[in-house]
Amino acid sequence: TLRMLNLRWNDIGPNGAKWLADALETNQVRLTV
């Protein structure tokens, strides 16, 4: 799983990485709430 995330991380680039991080934070907030 980590390897796939690393590959995608390199493919999507900085902007995609930021979007992904924001999406993960949103998911965590939803799970917390």
Convert the pLDDT of each residue in 22-33 to its tens digit.
Answer: 888 887 766 665
CB 20 within 8 A of CB 12: yes
Q: Is the pLDDT of residue 17 over 60?
A: yes
Q: What is the pLDDT of residue 5?
A: 59
Q: Is the pLDDT of residue 14 over 80?
A: no
Q: Where are the alpha helices (DSSP H) in the chain?
A: 2-32
Span 5-30, mean pLDDT?
Answer: 72
State CA 8 to chain mean position distance.
Answer: 9
Q: In the structure, what pLDDT confidence band is assigned to residue 9 with cuts at 50, 70 and 90?
A: low
Q: What is the pLDDT of residue 19?
A: 80
